[in-house]
Amino acid sequence: MSDNVTQLSGPEKKGLVRRIVLFSLIAVLVLTAVILIVFRDRLNLDAARRFVRYLNVSEADREGRFVYDDNNTNRYSSFAEGLAVASSTGVSIFDHTGSELDSVQVQMSVPTLETAESYALAYDAGGYELRALSQSQGLIVSLTVERPILDAALCADGSFCYLTSQSGYKSVLCVYNTEHSLSFRWLSSSLFLTRCAISPRAQYAAAASLGQQDGMFESSIQIFRTTQDQIQNTISFGNELIYDLAFVRGDLLMAVGEKHVRFYALDGSLKGEYDYSDAYLKDFQISGSGFLTLVLNMYRAGNSYRIVTVGYDGTQLGELSLSEQILDICASGKYLSVLTSRQLTIYDSALREYASGRNTNGASSAVVCADGTAIFLSGGKGTRFIP
């Protein structure tokens, strides 16, 4: 009898251990899946990427690695997880280590800067100079136009558009494709165009115009297919100014106005709207991925701010109140940074706090990068903040 028990106990114990191990593995997988589902909005690979990318970067190396000409007219933007700077004397681009990739000298009275992934577009608003740069090639387009540049817009594939004028015409819309050559031009003798936008691969362009309807002021949006020499659709925006236009997708156009932000399909149908007519729009950022940021105030002056993030269907994603002066806001990827004299705070698209750092250098500007880091800008130097 004892021999039989001994013979059976070995296989039974092995089977039991095997079942325990299998059960433990299943439990771990289930627990991991639950954690990923519950915390999917907070967990990301950016922390791991930052750890690897900045592993050998000392605290001393983070100080002043981005060096540029300091001027109160400067404009800053994140650029391929580095930095782009447009100033009265030119435009410079830096990689994520702070090394200067290229610097182009050009005089600009009102420097204006657009960036999209690995491309940067700098132009003199009301002036005559425009420069486009890429991370891999440096300067790719250099334009000096005959009439003042009113607006310009850049796409992540390097295509861009700008507005100017010409003798005999109120406005001229010019589109440059991904090969950086002029592929479309629209001359308007009747409409004064104020803002423009370009879709990926320069397939579509859009422009905001000022006009009248039944004796009243009216804004409208013209949508162009760049392979056709005609307006494809005209959209009425009512009696409020349009501050900016952007193709947030190839088939979805966003218009930011005085009182509303609206999202339109290419056929002109309304796909979403957010109303802030009960407040004053103080600032906004359209460069976030999947969201727009609005800085609102209940009063014309004062530090009673309400920051709102809005999805591309007009749904409010997040909201927070702030009772101190906002020096700068910046959006890149899924992050938004808000700079005050006290600190820099980085949020996600739902305005949940992701990280914060003290503004010890008295920076008046800061940019957030798509990897979740930020760069404090002060006195001609940029300091990398790594959460």
47-100 pLDDT per residue, tens: 777 766 666 665 555 555 899 999 999 999 999 989 999 999 999 999 988 899
349-372 pLDDT per residue, tens: 999 999 999 998 899 999 999 999
What phi and psi, each to the nearest 5 degrees, are found at residue 244? -160, 155
Residue 316, in any domain of the structure:
yes
Closest CA to 90 of 134, 137, 123: 123
**Domain total of the chain:** 2
Closest CA to 354 of 341, 364, 340, 344: 344
> Are 35 and 55 part of one and the same domain?
no
Beta bridge partners of residue 265, listed in sequence order: 252
280-334 pLDDT per residue, tens: 999 999 999 999 999 999 888 888 899 999 999 999 999 999 999 999 999 999 9
The region that residue 313 occupies, defined by phi over 0 for left and psi between -120 and 50 for alpha, beta otherwise, is: alpha
Residue 60, in any domain of the structure:
yes
Mean pLDDT of the chain: 88
**Residue 338, pLDDT above cutoff 50:** yes
Q: Residues 6 or more apart from 248 whose CB is under 8 A from it?
A: 254, 263, 286, 312
Residue 84, in any domain of the structure:
no
Beta bridge partners of residue 123, listed in sequence order: 112, 130
> Are 354 and 379 part of one and the same domain?
yes
pTM attached to this predicted model: 0.85
Beta-sheet pairing, 151-154 with 160-166: antiparallel
Tokens of 35: 């954690």
> Are 64 and 1 part of one and the same domain?
no
Give residue 63's pLDDT: 54
For residue 281, give Cα distances in angstroms to 10, 76, 150, 276. 76, 21, 22, 8
Domain ranges, residue 363: 47-70+280-387
Residue 131, in any domain of the structure:
no
For residue 139, give Cα distances in angstroms to 102, 104, 135, 384. 8, 7, 9, 25
Closest CA to 274 of 249, 284, 347: 284
204-253 pLDDT per residue, tens: 999 999 877 666 788 999 999 999 988 999 999 999 999 999 999 999 99
117-161 pLDDT per residue, tens: 999 999 999 999 999 999 999 999 999 999 999 999 999 999 999
SS3 200: helix
Residue 302, in any domain of the structure:
yes
SS3 75: strand
Task: For 355-384, give the DSSP string.
Answer: EEEE-TT--SEEEE-TTS-EEEEETTEEEE
Residue 33, in any domain of the structure:
yes
Tokens of 41: 């909005």
> Are 334 and 358 part of one and the same domain?
yes
Residue 273, in any domain of the structure:
no
Residue 98, in any domain of the structure:
no
Helix H segments across the chain?
2-38, 46-53, 59-62
> Are 29 and 57 part of one and the same domain?
no
